[in-house]
Amino acid sequence: MTFLLPVLVASLALVNPTVAQSVDGSKYNSPTAGPPSSYFAAATSIPVAALKSAAAKASTAAKDATYPINNSGGAAKVTIHSDWSKFSEGAAFVWVADMDVDCDGIDYKCKGNQDGQSETNFGALAAYEVPWIVIPDKFGTTYQSVLPGNNVGAVICDGKMFYGIYGDSDGDDPEVIGEASWLMARTCFPNDDLNGNAGHGSVDVTYILFTGKDSVLPSSALNKNYITDFSTLRSMGDSLMGSLAKNLGLSGGSETSTTTGSAPTTTCSWSGHCLGASCSTENDCSDDFVCTSGKCANP
């Protein structure tokens, strides 16, 4: 039997080329050496720019959905939208806000944190290790049935998309919106030394939070303190985000824009398989395009 093992290992490696990022979270529980951003970044096939524009157009207010971005009088108010909440796959709430730093949980003594609590809503997460999104507590209570906790979500910050989980809520008076864990905030804006007392103030961060039980990161991928399996976070994120993009009629991530030379110039219903894309048969081409001399072309 022993000679079979290398063969088995080799073939498994071929079937699953993505190395599972199972981690001992405590090794990343550091303010300056958290998990690399690649562990929770969206795949290049996700149409980030198009999702950001679509998010800016969402207009249907959810219930109990409007909150100030900080507690000074006259602070801008932001509304959580429910336009995307009825899809059967990839249903989500969406809003655009600033990004303050939350360090509740075991890293509550992070730099600048004045009012930390040692627990987060569904555990005692490590803000240095877990990319999480915060929502106002009242909103979480109103939508508890579809937001049971640890739902996968994403932020779009500075043109990049990162996945995280709904890990904490804000119960200040007034409750404020636009907040994420230390790791998420500092990954979004790595040059700004964001900390418990210094957030990203511009209202230009898109938050997408998936709803329903199918969007909850399973207990096999996290424990009370840490995410232990980033591959699952990423694959759930890509899958939910792909469904959402499809529901919104969006196609084309950077897959299209990074194609060199014969880059397809038109958009079509199957991103990366539009006019000019490489093909070997017409099944490789979108819509009713045919495959002529190795390129998708009009029939």
Ligand X SMILES: *[C@@H]1O[C@H](CO)[C@@H](O)[C@H](O)[C@H]1NC(C)=O
Selected binder of ligand X within 23, 43, 49, 76 (CB under 6 A): 76
Site membership for ligand X, residue 72 (CB under 6 A)? yes
Integer CA distances (angstroms), 157 to 1, 75, 154, 168, 207, in order: 51, 21, 10, 19, 9
Q: How far is the CB of 279 from ligand X (least distance, A)?
A: 50
Alpha carbons 169 and 182: distance in angstroms, whole number = 14
* Minimal CB distance residue for ligand X: 76
Binding range to ligand X, per CB under 6 A, among 23-31, 65-73, 88-96, 159-167: 65-73
For the segment 179-218, give every residue that binds ligand X (CB under 6 A): 201
Site membership for ligand X, residue 75 (CB under 6 A)? yes
Alpha carbons 43 and 74: distance in angstroms, whole number = 38
Q: How far is the CB of 102 from ligand X (least distance, A)?
A: 15
**Residue 110 vs 275, nearer CB to ligand X:** 110
Selected binder of ligand X within 41, 42, 69, 91 (CB under 6 A): 69
**Binding residues for ligand X, total number by CB under 6 A:** 6
Contact 100, 179 (CB under 8 A): yes
Which residue pairs, CB below 8 angstroms and at least 24 apart, start in 87-91? 87/243, 87/244, 87/247, 89/214, 89/240, 89/243, 89/244, 89/247, 90/210, 90/240, 90/241, 90/242, 90/243, 90/244, 90/245, 90/246, 90/247, 91/146, 91/210, 91/211, 91/212, 91/215, 91/244
Q: Helix, strand or coil for residue 42? A: coil
Q: How far is the CB of 232 from ligand X (least distance, A)?
A: 35
**Residues, the chain, total?**
299
**Residue 67 vs 93, nearer CB to ligand X:** 67
Site membership for ligand X, residue 114 (CB under 6 A)? no
Alpha carbons 256 and 75: distance in angstroms, whole number = 40
**Residue 204 vs 214, nearer CB to ligand X:** 204
Binding range to ligand X, per CB under 6 A, among 25-33, 68-76, 240-248, 268-276: 68-76
Q: How far is the CB of 83 from ligand X (least distance, A)?
A: 24
Selected binder of ligand X within 41, 52, 67, 70 (CB under 6 A): 70
Q: What residue ranges bind ligand X (CB under 6 A)?
A: 69-70, 72, 75-76, 201
